[in-house]
Amino acid sequence: MTLNTIWFLLIAVLFIGYFILEGFDFGVGILLPFVGKNDTERRMMINTIGPHWDGNEVWLITAGGAMFAAFPQWYATLFSGFYLVLFLMLIALIIRGVAFEFRSKDENPKWRTFWDWVIFIGSFIPAFLWGVALTNFIRGVPIDANFHFIGNFWNLISGYSLIGGLVSLTGFTLQGAIFLSLKLEEQFAIRINKIARKLWIPNIIAVFLFAIETYFLTDILDRLGVNPGFVPIAAVLSLLTVGWLVYQNYNGWAFFINCLAILFSTTTIFMILYPRVLVSSIDKNLSLTIINSASSPYTLKVMSIIALIFLPFVLGYQIWAYWVFRKRITSNKESLHY
Amino acid sequence: MDELIVSLSRWQFALTTIYHFFFVPLTLGLSVLVAIMETQYVKTGDLIYKNMTKFWGKLFVINFAMGVVTGLVQEFQFGMNWSEYSRYVGDIFGAPLAIEALLAFFLESTFLGIWIFGWDKLSKKMHLISIWLVAFGSSVSAFWILVANSFMQAPMGFVEENGRLVMNDFWALVTNPNVWVQFPHTIFSGFTTGAMFVIGISGYHLYKNQNNEFFTKSFRLASLFGILSILLVILIGHSQGQQMIKTQPMKMASAEALWNSEDPASFSLISIVNEKEKKDIFSFRIPRILSLLSYNQFSGKVEGINQLQDYYAEKYGSGNYIPPISVTYWAFRAMVGSGFLIFFIIALILFFVLRNKDIFKFSWSRFIPFAITLPYIANSSGWILTEMGRQPWVVFGYLKTADAVTPNLTVGMILTSLIGFGLVYTGLMVADIYLLAKFSKGPIFQEEAEESEISYWESEI
């Protein structure tokens, strides 16, 4: 396996980690104003992700950095081409992160309600936009022979990419609900489980529509064949299983399998892409690939060594952080930070 | 390339970066101070240190959140507005950014989460280690981003291949002499900022005679920490100037408004210049001092703006190689001026502190809190000098800023993002200052004994 392929895989892994982790962060944020009936409940909900959301977001920062270091042409074309989408995403992530820290630092109910809605908006927008962005990866965007994006904002918005947005939006919301049902005290968790049952339905519908459109609008057939193989099938199967598990109230298993669903479906997107990183809608031959967008072999080698040394530590202490805060959040005010 | 697109992108980068850098230095400094306080607590078991840790820790957390989220913009912006830059130097420049995320951001964010929420979930030692890891992570982050910036100031460790710069020596990138002056200068400026912040807020309370013991301890700790930091800032700043003379003489010439080469060279005490006609309107210079600053001796040639312009025009082709002189000149003075002012203020405070005299019986001591603005002025003007003084280059000698911008941007797109960031940032600044002011004023949580432990965070909710 070449270093180019390894870095493609690593970036895919970073995105998968990001979607799984920040997926439930987003979900919690989206559900916050609707599910939290009073201030205590909302604080409990935020506290489930309190120690983690910032570390989870670093998965995205690292993915961006890895993209810049390993495939600078991909980074340059993607970030400049998706300018307004990323601008919206940034604004959302900024106000959301600040809102977590600010909302409980003043008792005024108006202040708190305001920041709760900021958390909602700041979670809703990225949850939706990630689907839009990834759909455009595989659908293709106007890229010319100099790797320049020559379209505009509206090239990124289509029925297909909006469905893609709904997939990630509903998927992350579901992920958040299942996470909450694991992390909140029993009575509250039961209520959340009922909500998760409802959320599963729009998610599976969106995924179903998205899968059909993918067959018509991308070159998935050339890539993966009529029988797409294990991964995409596993993605669909795990999502179906999640529904059953949620209805049976097996929330631990539901969370595990839903993480797998995110893993398999994100992997499917990256499998359709490979060895390209951004498909050109003008001419498939103009697509950015892991070869023509890559850094020099020397840079890739240096970065590989550094990643190999430090990634295990990062994984180790992040897992440890989840272990430290493994207990369910109770309504005991003394244990609430946010 | 459309000039308006370039200048709007530059404005956006400048505003979002300066804004981001309001929060970073305080994070660098306050994290260490809070870690020292908690160390004292763990060592002595004295609850006053625990209360100090929590009081200053809360202010630290409010500030930290702003630094994190505004930092996201930095990483995205290179690609969004400066895609040609990213293509041209991505092979080199991307590496330190990725390493920064992997080595520093994960560490900072994970352990800050553990620290905030882990008061009653971890042993005292482990909790203490968490805050030290946060502080360490912040400094590691500063190191790698300055490796990246130093490459822009004094490029090293690469070759030019097929119209792009390609890394061929990672070690050279990391050992770039520019890094090793810029990094400590920045770190200790951050420490100074943290110290001044604690001095200022403690001073506010002490002048009003509130919580004497609590704030006296904070005040003393911060002034000791502060004097060491500002001394190092000044000393290293001096070496940095000497480094600048070697790698970017034009930056020094324009920071000194030195039109023509001089040997020995004079230091400008005050110059008001006409940039268009390249002459002084008014200037008062002290002979020989610029040579002294540059070479530690009273002679030695310092190149002037005109000579350097001719030299660069010959070397790189015709064009204007002079940075905006008024900006660099005044930024330099604002930085050095506030730096020395900080030094004198902390030295004066320490003069009283070490002799156990009460500085707060003097009515002028009520102005101490205003000194909090000084490090912010110094930090911002230092970066304005560093970045504006490099113009017209974005990567010195290799890529001009005007050639670095994204080609497919429209004025409408940049205005949208510029106004959007502007509005959101203004709103957040208001909320941030409101909260900082609120929590600076107290209340100070008084923890009586370990048994009745209630986490500070909830005390006033």
- At residue A330, the pLDDT reads 83
- Report the alpha-carbon distance of residue A323 to residue B159 in Å, rounded: 47
Whether B258 and B241 map to the same domain: the answer is no
Please give the residue that has the higher pLDDT: either B203 or A336.
B203
**B241-289 pLDDT, tens per residue?**
999 999 999 999 999 999 999 988 999 988 888 888 888 888 889 989 8
**B13-59 pLDDT, tens per residue?**
999 999 999 999 999 999 999 999 999 999 999 999 999 999 999 99
Contact B121 A325 (CB under 8 A): yes
Residue B161, SS3 per DSSP: strand
Is B334 contained in some domain? no
Quickly state the pLDDT bin for A334 (edges 50, 70, 90).
low
- Report the alpha-carbon distance of residue A90 to residue A88 in Å, rounded: 5
Whether B176 and B62 map to the same domain: the answer is yes
Chain A interface, mutation test: which of B12, B109, B164, most A Cβ atoms within 10 Å?
Answer: B109
Contacts of A51 in chain B (CB under 8 A): 113-114, 116-118
Whether B297 and B412 map to the same domain: the answer is no
Quickly state the pLDDT bin for A226 (edges 50, 70, 90).
confident
Whether B141 and B62 map to the same domain: the answer is yes
- At residue B209, the pLDDT reads 80
Total Cβ atoms within 10 A of residue A6:
17
For tokens 């900022």, name the residue. Answer: B193
H runs (alpha helix) in A248-296 = 251-273
Nearest CA of chain A to the CA of B187: how many Å?
22
Contact B105 A73 (CB under 8 A): no
Please give the residue that has the higher pLDDT: either B364 or A26.
A26
Q: What value, to the nearest 5°, has the Cα angle with vertex A24 and ends A18 and A27?
A: 125
In this structure, what token pair is assigned to residue B279? 């002459």
Q: Which amino acid is at A6?
A: I
Whether B145 and B263 map to the same domain: the answer is no
- Report the alpha-carbon distance of residue B84 to residue A243 in Å, rounded: 47
Say yes or no to pLDDT of A71 above 80.
yes
For tokens 């994960």, name the residue. Answer: B106
The size of chain B, in residues, is: 461
- Report the alpha-carbon distance of residue B161 to residue A84 in Å, rounded: 32
% of chain A surpassing 70 pLDDT: 98
Whether B348 and B220 map to the same domain: the answer is yes
- At residue B208, the pLDDT reads 87
Q: Which amino acid is at B64?
A: F
Whether B253 and B227 map to the same domain: the answer is no
Whether residue B91 contacts residue A296, with contact meaning beta carbons closer than 8 Å, is answered with yes
- At residue A58, the pLDDT reads 93
Say yes or no to pLDDT of A244 above 80.
yes
Mean pLDDT throughout A136-159? 91
Quickly state the pLDDT bin for A335 (edges 50, 70, 90).
low
Mean pLDDT throughout A266-277? 92
> Which segments of chain B have a pLDDT < 50?
449-461
Torsion of CA A217, A218, A219, A223, to 10 degrees: -140
The string of DSSP codes covering A20-49 is HHHHHHHHHHHHHHHH--SHHHHHHHHHHH
Contacts of B428 in chain A (CB under 8 A): 94-95, 98
Whether B219 and B253 map to the same domain: the answer is no
Nearest CA of chain A to the CA of B76: how many Å?
7
Q: Residue A73: which residues within 8 A CB-CB, separation 6 or more? A: A147, A288, A292, A293, A294, B87, B90
Please give the residue that has the higher pLDDT: either B381 or A225.
B381
Whether B239 and B346 map to the same domain: the answer is yes
Percent of chain B as helix, strand, coil, to the nearest 5: 75, 5, 20
Is B459 contained in some domain? no
In this structure, what token pair is assigned to residue B69? 């989220």
- At residue B120, the pLDDT reads 87
ipTM comes to 0.92
- Report the alpha-carbon distance of residue B350 to residue B403 in Å, rounded: 50
- At residue A337, the pLDDT reads 67
Whether B279 and B291 map to the same domain: the answer is yes
H runs (alpha helix) in chain A = 3-35, 39-49, 53-70, 72-81, 83-102, 109-139, 159-183, 186-217, 220-224, 230-247, 251-273, 297-324
- Report the alpha-carbon distance of residue B419 to residue B338 in Å, rounded: 31
Domain-wise residue ranges, chain A: 3-335
Residue among A72, A298, A333 whose CB faces B90 most closely: A72
Element containing residue B411 per DSSP (H, E): helix B411-440
Is B172 contained in some domain? yes
Is B335 contained in some domain? no
Mean pLDDT throughout A66-84? 95
Count of structural domains, chain B: 2
CA distances from B76 to A75, A81, A177, B339, B380 (A): 9, 12, 30, 32, 21
Is B349 contained in some domain? yes
Contact B65 A98 (CB under 8 A): yes
Burial B76-103 (b: 16+ CB within 10 A, else e): bbbbbbbbbbbbbbbbbbbbbbbbbbbb
Domain residues for the domain of B357 are: 3-246+341-452
Whether B72 and B143 map to the same domain: the answer is yes
Whether B236 and B364 map to the same domain: the answer is yes
